[in-house]
Structure 1
Amino acid sequence: MDSKLYHYFYESLNSHEDVQKLSQKYNVCCGTLSSILNQKVVEDVKKSHYRFKRKEEKIVGEWLNGQSFLALSRKYNYPATLVSTLVLENLGHSKKEIRFYYKNPKTIENGRIQKELIESLNSDYFFSPRAHQLQEEKGKIGENIISFWLKKKSCDFTCEDEMRAEGCTGKTPDFLLRKSIKISGREVCWIESKALFGELKEHRHYEKKQFKEYADCFGDGLVVYWFGYETDILKEKGEGYQIADHDFFQKDVPEHVTKFLNYVIHW
């Protein structure tokens, strides 16, 4: 996806309703647009966190005066789960207690907090425990497709969990091939699965912290951005790895890939 189109989608996406509309209008899979939306929300939270914390006393006061977690979330355009965390911490609850409440909200004795927390968790598609769980599942699906593809190609490989079990303590890719395979005329020794859209800024971070080290340790590799990537990445990426998206696997495992492309964290 060229950067101009990516930035158009980035600016246009503000809710999951926008995902459906833009998907139909531009014939772009919902999974790609959902991934871009998720990255936008996370980035917006990072940028606005300081301003939000500065209003902490005011926000807590408004909650004490009757405004709900969800109402405050909408008022300050901040994720409901993080709003509830702010208020509960100010009420004297520890981080450990709050984590327990998120997993077991019906155990909360205070009726108002229980009701509002359940309401918040059910509406937060980005920072709630359920959203985090689905993100993890999404990552596992991408890895499972690669594992299936490698087995179909009769490739001998070790996955990251197995490397850890064998005592590897350094940074490891998702898949290390015991025997390299040729992709686009180049030998590939490892594969890294990213169940997201490859945005240039985030890619630079991954290249520095992961891809470069994998290449130095194991040789050339393949990075898979399942939901596509900015083509500008190809202009500036370093040596030691290739980049692919879902198209690379489509012809070999079409059913798995098509289902994955429609994966949207929304309920």
Structure 2
Amino acid sequence: MKLAVYNDVLNIMQEYNTRECFKLIQEKYTDLSINTLGSIFSQNYQKKMKKTHHIHYNPETMNEYFQRYNSTIKKREKHVLLRLADEIDLSPALLARIILERYLSQTEYVGENAPKAKVTQMMRDPASITNSVLSTEVQECILSDDHYGPIVDSIKHGIGQEYEFKLTKKLDTLGYAYLHEDHMRARGYDKTPDVKLEVPISVDGYIVNWIESKASFGDEFSNRTYLKDQFWSYWNRFGPGMVIYWFGFIEELDIHRDKGIMLRDSFPDNIVCLNPMAKVK
């Protein structure tokens, strides 16, 4: 995807701020898939939440949200957290976590902050929250949130595994020998791509020793972060490699091929095996 198209897609999403804009975008850009648009939409929303994090996550504001929640609940109203999340423009799951933290600090951990592990465990299992009203409110937030929360985390993990399987199945079909990240961790590597080829391949004239699978769209922020935290580390350990952003990426970001990192949006067809005899028999 060209940067100009990406920026136009973002502008449309920000104007409508709802997934209903997908239809409008697909009418304009017929080659963009729902997966691509969903990934871009989610990334943009998460960036927004990070930018406004400091507004919501300070003690005074958190206490204000908790007081508003309590005063409204006393009126026996329902869907309180969802309405409040919409009013303050915050992810429902993030607001639910704030309220749960405040509740625990005033009940089980009086005068102290509730342990993060305890809050996370209750977010994963809202039924464990002893206050039945709060339990229902938290569960409702988790089920209604498309971007945060334990359900979203599980879905993302599952999609990631699905595309890793797609990658390894393709390699198995072609008969290429490789090590999975679990194999490399067992050998003591701390930074591991999804696949380390036992014998390098050539794609578009570039050597590929490893392949990383990303079930997401590659925008400027995520790609820069991955380069710093992952891709250059793989390059240092294993040499040049390839990253597959299955939901597409901004074409102008593919600028490191000569340095050893290639970006793709699918598994390449034009592969040259440097030693065909090394294939799995």
For Structure 1 versus Structure 2, the TM-score category normalised by the shorter chain is 0.7 to 0.9
Q: Which amino acid aligns with 2:120?
A: R
Scaled by the length of structure 1, the TM-score of the pair is 0.86
Matched with 2:76 is none
Secondary structure in 1 aligned to 2:9?
helix
Q: Distance in 1 between matches of 2:225 and 2:258?
A: 12
What residue ranges of structure 1 are gaps of 5+ in the alignment?
250-267
Q: Does 1:122 align with 2:143?
A: yes
Matched with 2:207 is 187
Q: Does 1:23 align with 2:43?
A: no
Please say if residues 244 and 265 of structure 2, whose CA atoms lie closer than 8 Å, have aligned partners that are also in contact: yes
Shift of residue 237 of structure 1? 6.6
Matched with 1:153 is 174
- Aligned-residue identity in percent: 28
Q: Does 1:85 align with 2:88?
A: no
Q: Distance in 2 between matches of 1:62 and 1:100?
A: 25
- Deviation by residue 1:157-215 (Cα, 9 ceiling, x = unmatched): 001111112332x2111100001112112221100111111112321222222222222
Change beyond 3 A, Cα 1:217–1:247: closer
Shift of residue 25 of structure 1? 4.3
Q: Distance in 2 between matches of 1:215 and 1:99?
A: 35
Q: Does 1:33 align with 2:25?
A: no
Matched with 1:62 is 68
Q: Distance in 2 between matches of 1:64 and 1:238?
A: 59
Q: After superposition, where does 1:215-230 map in structure 2 within 5 Å?
A: 215-230=235-250
Q: Does 1:164 align with 2:170?
A: no
Matched with 1:258 is none
Please say if residues 97 and 123 of structure 2, whose CA atoms lie closer than 8 Å, have aligned partners that are also in contact: no
Matched with 2:9 is 9
Shift of residue 223 of structure 1? 0.9
Shift of residue 64 of structure 1? 1.4
- Deviation by residue 1:73-131 (Cα, 9 ceiling, x = unmatched): 10111111110111121122533332232222223332210221111111011111010
Scaled by the length of structure 2, the TM-score of the pair is 0.82
Q: Distance in 2 between matches of 1:70 and 1:129?
A: 17
Q: How many residues align?
A: 248
Runs of at least 4 residues of structure 1 off by over 3 A?
235-238
Q: Distance in 1 between matches of 2:130 and 2:242?
A: 51
Q: Which amino acid aligns with 2:246?
A: W
Q: Distance in 2 between matches of 1:247 and 1:23?
A: 24
Q: Does 1:102 align with 2:123?
A: yes
Q: 2:266 aligns with which of 246, 249, 263?
A: 246
Greater CA drift, 159-168 or 219-228: 159-168
Change beyond 3 A, Cα 1:176–1:109: same
Change beyond 3 A, Cα 1:247–1:156: closer
Q: Which has the higher contact order (CA 8 A, sep 6+)?
A: 1
Please say if residues 200 and 232 of structure 1, whose CA atoms lie closer than 8 Å, have aligned partners that are also in contact: no
Matched with 1:203 is 223
- Deviation by residue 1:192-250 (Cα, 9 ceiling, x = unmatched): 1111111123212222222222222212111111111111212467611211103746x
What residue ranges of structure 2 are gaps of 5+ in the alignment?
74-79, 106-113, 270-281
